[in-house]
Structure 1
Amino acid sequence: MISKDKFNNAVGPQVRAKKSGVGKAVPALALLSIGVGLAASTQFFAYDLNYQEVLGPHFNHVYAPWSILTWANKWYGIYPDAFMRAGSIGVLATGVGLLGLVVTKMISANSSKANEYLHGSARWAGKKDIQAAGLLARPRRFLEVLTGKSAPSHSGVYVGAWVDNKGVQHYLRHNGPEHVLTYAPTRSGKGVGLVVPTLLSWSDSTVITDLKGELWALTAGWRQKHARNKVLRFDPASSNGGVRWNPLDEIRIGTENEVGDVQNLATLIVDPDGKGLDSHWQKTSQALLVGLIMHVLYKSKNEGTPATLPEVDRNLADPDRDIGDLWMEMVTYSHVNGRNHPLVGSAARDMMDRPEEEAGSVLSTAKTYLALYRDPVVAQNVSASEFKVKDLMNHDNPVSLYIFSKPNDKARLRPLVRVLINMIVRLLADKMDFENGRPVAHYKHRLLMMLDEFPSLGKLEILQESLAFVAGYGIKCYLICQDINQLKSREIGYGHDETITSNCHVQNAYPPNRVETAEHLSKLTGQTTVVKEQITTSGRRTSALLGQVSRTIQEVQRPLLTPDECLRMPGPLKIASGDISEAGDMVVYVAGYPAIYGKQPLYFKDPVFQTRAAIPAPKNSDKLRIVQEVTAAEAITI
């Protein structure tokens, strides 16, 4: 005997689906046939007796089907022939019904049946699937209506749009703590479709990489005036109204974290592309910078001298001072309670003990990595801190930090931007307490990290590692890349063993340009089973009737979205100037739910977003901390 559960191969929504109840259909139809037979007997008997009043009340000569049984109990001895005739009619009606049921059952048993899950069960999501995934608001339930409770609000970041069967477009938004990963080629409309709508609706804190300054122009005005945000524009290569930030002010000097903070900073300085410390000169210059940065910090604490990266560079490249004097100062200086700091002294002693040629190579390597801070404008912008990283989530108001890096300055500013992103993750995800078995939040505002073209920052190991846990600290990442190749690149990305995709609950994609991305999206969509019907005929083509026609049903496997179909997804329509006039298609994947075939949203097609984007951005950045003004020249020469 075959067990009921032997072929229990349903997965996901198939398990949750209600059973069709086919096994109860046959008994129900048999009972219906018997009921029809009783009704036929009753009506025939009443007709035979000409609907006499003695038969009892009726509705237009229609009696209850079981009345024949009551009448037979009373009057069978009086009208035996009438009851026999009525019984024959009832048996005939019941027999016809049961015979039809038997024939239907035989045909069904001998007919081929398609197994909808044979090769795969992938399908496109419907409205209920999207609501279950949390991307679409659901209607209020019955108990919520009775208790006066409202349905969960539809808020969060924008991940796409979906058009229902009536042609109505619905925005898809995700407000959970999980992260989002987007694949969108250049000029595909990701900014106007995903980034701008999100920034014109997200009211908590956010960090934005703004390559061209477009996001500041379109969203900073609304965020400042209506979302109560303090808007900060960090533009290291410009002296026009930006905010300043000194990485050394984030070092927790005098605490147990000081050595780790300095080592992390020095590693980022000597590894501007995130490829790791592979060469001897990188490792030795990193050790030198760790000691020198620590020396500059303690000297600033004791004497009030500047503690900045330009000051670190000035110490190494001072034309009026022999480099040996610096090593001697680092070895003999009283850093803590009249004693020399062991980390500083050992770094200087290493340089003093090296052969002259090797020491010169280490020194020149360290100077190379600090060359960026010889730019007077950059030096001015890193000379003081008008905000601290902790302010992003703990200021009285939410804070929006726009990180500018113009295309012509992107490569040289990359080390500084990497330092800032790294410190944001490390300093905001460093402490968690628990109370009654639940984590206790140590922040006032959630933080959205909207990182466009994030692989261009190089490999940020802290970002890849932290995606698995930063959600618990109130940080949500929205990562955007051009394609899967950019993400998996060994040169600028995270390699084929990357874990970015593993830690992003939602992935969405615009029509890709690379077949590798199309193949990845096809695999994410899954395999489905298609029922193929094959008709075979025999006989002469000129005959009136064919000799034989046979039909065969076969289950065939295919991807729900093939790589070719993915590459041919309709993209946005553009006018001659290159601006988008009509949205294209996109796909959205939520872990554990069917893929969504959606539509690209466009902020300028929505009057609400258009009104918000029209609010002019402030000319000058907000400043959270007041510091003494220092000119660009003083930042170099002080």
Structure 2
Amino acid sequence: MKDQFNNAVGPQVRGSAPKAGKLIPALVVVSLAAGLQSATQFFAHDFRYQAALGRHFEHVYVPWSILQWAGQWYRQYPDAIMRAGSVGMIVTTLGLLGLAVTRMVLANSSRLNPYLHGSARWANLKDIQASGLLPRPRTFWQALTGARPAASAGVYVGAWLDARGHSHYLRHNGPEHVLCYAPTRSGKGVGLVVPTLLSWGESAVITDLKGELWALTAGWRRQHAKNQVLRFEPAAASGSVCWNPLDEIRIGTEHEVGDVQNLATLIVDPDGRGLESHWQKTSQALLVGVILHALYKAANEGTAATLPAVDALLADPERDVAELWMEMRTYGHLDGQNHPAVGSAARDMMDRPDEEAGSVLSTAKSYLAVYRDPVVARNVSKSEFRIRDLMHHAQPVSLYILTQPNDKTRLRPLVRVMVSMIVHLLADKLHFENGRPVAHYRHRLLMMLDEFPSLGKLEILQESLAFVAGYGIKCYLVCQDINQLKSRETGYGHDESITSNCHVQNAYPPNRVETAEHLSKLTGQTTVAKEQITTSGRRASALLGQVSRTIQEVQRPLLTPDECLRMPGPIKNASGDIDEAGDMVVYVAGYPAIYGKQPLYFKDPIFQARAAIPAPKDSDKLIHVHDVPAGEGITL
């Protein structure tokens, strides 16, 4: 009957065939051994047999001694041998009878199936080691040679308390991406972002609101990680590195039109909602032609093409805009010939009615208004580094993108341009050797994007997560809750693929029930035993008439949404600083969820010493504006 039920379910028994029980055969052997031992000892007691087995064991013999004695003395003492054999048979029969009763009781007893409704459980030490977040134990060869296992490395995704209460950092060093859910002021910066930046030795791109990460981590990354640290703060009057987005356009190649179209789309779509209106679409087509015209004209005249210069072309008070359309239509861009994309854009504007052309022009100029700020214009009018430097420079490069809260909204289009160009330009070539893809780069790149939903919907980021890991780019994405990702207005919608492409997800105690429900589903369903006791009889009687006890398997989430919302958060003092870390949950695809603890860098003396290293006052500079002609790449 047992074979009729398919109980081989759940990952715990995946791929294993049902095994025959070993208890019954073991009990049969024990019964036979007990019968032989009884017969042996009874015969020895009859004859007061003394064997030379030592003082403490002189009256105990091995069970099969009776067989040896029967072979030697059966002819002399047949009655004694038969009496001993009868005793052994009685003992064996009693043992086998008890076994039969036990087997009958077990067959008629109900059994709990721990995997019936779900097999979710919390990860143990072996699970965490198998997932790669903790170093594996030493192998036999390592123990024999005295070698130590590889130390844990990579980004910090949390901490875990073992059975003894000792805390262990959880780190992930694989190429896969990490997604973190953490509400504001929950300690994600001091627990995950800062420890990662104080230990990651290769290149990094960091979105840094208010400049806190620069102040805490740039000093160590420059002095001890040997990184070139770049501070790009477009609205800063001093101390910022300069970067001209138009220098990244691969002018004169087959990629130039595509590069300019991507750039123009980001300019006219500052929130990532797509080109919804007619004016956005027409202004994007206009900017493609104007930017290409500015690039070729600057290359021919030996000047620099910049976004402020593009705005000046469209808003020149000294000449009529019709002259610009005519110049674009007749200028010799390519060997004295007019560029087809530029000429087409000019022809479109010339053919439009005056009112429509004026609306298209005003829409395009409105998206370039941020570059009329002289501080921003100065910081984007030349390039003191290139995107390619992040992974191909002689030293690792750390790029901090700083935007103060009051400048975040107006500088969002520029930050979106930079992040998109990083993905677009660094994940462009892949070679194959011996049947395997090989990406050529000097340094891996960590994209630490804190509050990345505030950049709006970056379609290139969502699409590239599936393949940029093969190019040496690892993304660490931090958001407040799942609603930021799934928002139709400012996020990626309910069909987003960000969560699908992140191998590791970790979460602090959430504030939104939608996030709690998402985390509960990630944790999974488990099976628990439910006991139900039913009584019957009169209330006034001394004894109840009947008591029945029923145990059944029921399903429940391993972590319910309510339990997720009530996870202990960090304990803060009167000034709002964290005194004690709270709990968190870490998910690694293919392994049980980890119930962990939030790490805090200021509780670790090593991190505290690294964070105390002062940050440089000014940004490093890799190249100067005259070192590399506009539009050309850097040869390393």
TM bucket normalised to smaller = over 0.9
Whether contact under 8 Å (1:46, 1:55) holds in the other structure is: no
Residue correspondence of structure 1 range 205-284 to structure 2 within 5 A: 205-284=203-282
Q: Which amino acid aligns with 1:567?
A: L
CA displacement, residues 30-53 of structure 1 (integer Å, 9 cap, x when unaligned): 011101110111111011101156
Alignment-derived partner of residue 632 in structure 1:
none
Among candidates 328, 339, 344, match of residue 326 of structure 2: 328
Q: How does 1:493-508 map to 2 (within 5 A)?
A: 493-508=491-506
- After TM superposition, give the deviation of residue 536 of structure 1 in Å: 2.3
Aligned residue type for 2:241: V
Deviates more, 1:53-62 or 1:351-360: 53-62
Name the CA distance, whole Å, in 2 between partners of 1:211 and 1:71.
91
Aligned with 2:520 (options 494, 504, 522): 522
* Aligned residues of 1:531 and 1:554 also touching (Cα < 8 A): yes
Task: Describe the SS at the equivalent of 1:408.
Answer: helix
Distance in 2 (alpha carbons) for counterparts of 1:278 and 1:591: 37
Q: SS at 1:386's partner residue?
A: coil
Note the 1:363-402 alignment, pairs <5 A.
Answer: 363-402=361-400
2:13 aligned residue? 14
1:520 deviates by 0.6
Give the residue type in structure 2 aligned to 1:375: D
Q: Give CA-to-partner distance per residue, 1:566-603, whole Å, 9 cap, x none.
A: 11111111111111111111111111111111111110
> Which letter maps to 2:10?
V
The alpha-carbon distance between structure 1 residues 54 and 161, as it changes in their structure 2 partners (threshold 3 A), is closer
| SS at 1:492 equivalent | coil
Change (3 A) 1:56 1:380: closer
- Once the two structures are superposed, residues 268-301 of structure 1 have per-residue CA deviations (whole angstroms, 9 ceiling, x without a partner) of 0001111111111111111110001001100111
Letter in 2 for 1:421: V
Give the equivalent residue in structure 1 for 2:46. Answer: 48
2:60 maps to 62
Structure 2 unpaired stretches of 5+: 628-636
Structure 2 equivalent of residue 633 of structure 1 = none
Does 407-416 or 163-172 show the bigger shift?
163-172
Distance apart, 1:16 and its partner CA:
6.8
Partner Cα distance (2:76, 2:402) in 1: 105
Structure 1 residues 92 and 624: CA distance shift in structure 2, 3 A:
same
For the residues of structure 1 that align with 2:369 and 2:53, how far apart are their CA atoms?
111
Can you list the C-alpha shifts for 1:513-550, whole angstroms capped at 9, x where unaligned? 01111111111111111101112233445555544332
SS in 1 for 2:206: strand
Amino acid at match of 1:7: N
Post-superposition offset of 1:112: 1.3
For 1:66 and 1:115, the matched residues in 2 are separated by 42
Q: Is the 8 A contact 2:10 2:115 kept in 1?
A: no
Q: Compared with structure 1, are the counterparts of its residues 57 and 17 closer, same or farther at alpha carbon in structure 2 (3 Å cutoff)? A: farther
Deviation of 1:228 after TM superposition, in Å, equals 0.6
Residue 39 of structure 1: which of 37, 44, 55 is its match? 37
* Residue of 423, 426, 429 corresponding to 2:421: 423
CA distance in 2, matches of 1:14, 1:156: 32
Deviations 1:422-460 (A, max 9, x none): 000000000000010111221100000000110110000
| Structural RMSD (CA) | 1.9
Of the candidates 107, 116, 126, which is equivalent to residue 109 of structure 1?
107
- 1:338 deviation in Å? 1.0
Structure 1 CA distance for aligned equivalents of residues 530 and 114 of structure 2: 12
CA distance in 2 between counterparts of 1:175 and 1:53 reads 67
Q: Which moved more, 1:53-62 or 1:321-330?
A: 53-62
Partners in 1 of 2:53 and 2:296 — Cα distance? 112
Q: Which whole-Å CA distance do the structure 2 matches of 1:90 and 1:8 have between them? A: 41
| CA gap 1:546/1:69 in 2 versus in 1, 3 angstroms | farther
1:156 aligned residue (154, 157, 170): 154
**Shift in Å, 1:142:** 1.1
Q: Does 1:554 align with 2:535?
A: no
Distance 1:612 1:483 in 2: 30
Distance in 2 of aligned mates of 1:302 and 1:515: 59
Deviations 1:386-410 (A, max 9, x none): 0000000000111000000110000
Give the drift of 1:56: 13
Partner of 2:135: helix, strand, or coil? coil
Match of 2:441 among 443, 453, 460: 443
Aligned to 1:532: 530
1:509 aligns with 2:507: yes
TM-score, length of structure 2 as denominator length: 0.96
Question: 1:237, 1:378 within 8 Å by CA — same for their partners in 2?
Answer: yes
Q: In 2 relative to 1, CA 537–619 (structure 1 residues): closer, same or farther, beyond 3 Å?
A: same
Contact 1:12/1:592, CA 8 A, preserved across alignment: no
Aligned partners of 1:376, 1:235: CA distance in 2, in Å?
14
| CA distance in structure 2 between the partners assigned to 1:223 and 1:564 by the alignment | 41
Distance change in 2, residues 1:322/1:553 (3 Å): same
Whole-Å separation in 1 of the counterparts to 2:278 and 2:535: 78
Question: 1:290 maps to what in 2?
Answer: 288
Distance in 1 of aligned mates of 2:303 and 2:21: 86
In 1, the alpha carbon distance for the partners of 2:51 and 2:511 equals 85
Separation of aligned partners in 2, 1:547 and 1:306: 98
Shift of 1:2: 7.3
The answer to whether the 8 Å contact 2:586/2:593 transfers is: yes
Distance 1:55 1:449 in 2: 75
SS of the residue corresponding to residue 194 of structure 1 reads helix
2-structure distance, mates of 1:85, 1:52: 19
**TM-fit CA distance, 1:111:** 1.6
Which 5+ residue runs of structure 1 have no aligned equivalent? Answer: 630-638
Residue of structure 2 equivalent to 1:627: 625
Q: Tell me the amino acid that sits aligned with residue 29 of structure 1.
A: L
Distance 1:55 1:289, change over 3 A: closer
* Structure-2 residue corresponding to 1:614: 612
* Pair 473,332 (structure 1): closer, same or farther in 2 beyond 3 Å: same
Cα gap change, 1:55/1:206 in structure 2, threshold over 3 Å: closer, same or farther? Answer: closer
* Residue-by-residue CA offset, 1:82-141 (whole Å, 9 max, x unaligned): 112212221222122222222222222222111111111111111111111111112111
Q: Tell me the alpha carbon deviations over residues 221-277 of structure 1, each in whole angstroms, 9 at most, x when there is no partner.
A: 000000010000000000221100000000000011001000000000001111111
Q: Residue 122 of structure 2 corresponds to which residue in structure 1?
A: 124
Query: What residue in structure 1 maps to residue 579 of structure 2?
Result: 581
Quote the offset at 1:57 in angstroms.
12
SS of 1:409's partner is helix
**Amino acid of the structure 2 residue aligned with 1:474:** G
- CA shift, 1:150, in A, is 4.1
Asked if 2 retains the 8 angstrom alpha-carbon contact of 1:281 and 1:365, the reply is: yes
Equivalent pair of 2:51/2:58 in contact (CA under 8 Å):
no
User: Which of 357, 361, 366 is the aligned partner of 2:355?
Assistant: 357
Contact 1:184 1:483 in 2 (8 A): yes
Q: Which amino acid aligns with 1:235?
A: E
- Distance (whole Å) between structure 2 residues aligned to residue 119 and residue 474 of structure 1: 41
CA contact (8 A) 2:43 2:81 kept: yes
Superposition deviation, residue 75 in structure 1:
1.1
**Do 2:331 and 2:338's aligned partners in 1 also have CA atoms closer than 8 Å?**
yes
Letter in 2 for 1:177: P
Alpha-carbon distance in structure 2 between the residues aligned to 1:167 and 1:55:
50
Q: Please give the alpha-carbon distance, in whole angstroms, between the structure 1 residues aligned to 2:65 and 2:149.
A: 52
Q: 1: distance between equivalents of 2:313 and 2:381?
A: 15
Normalization by structure 1: what TM-score? 0.95
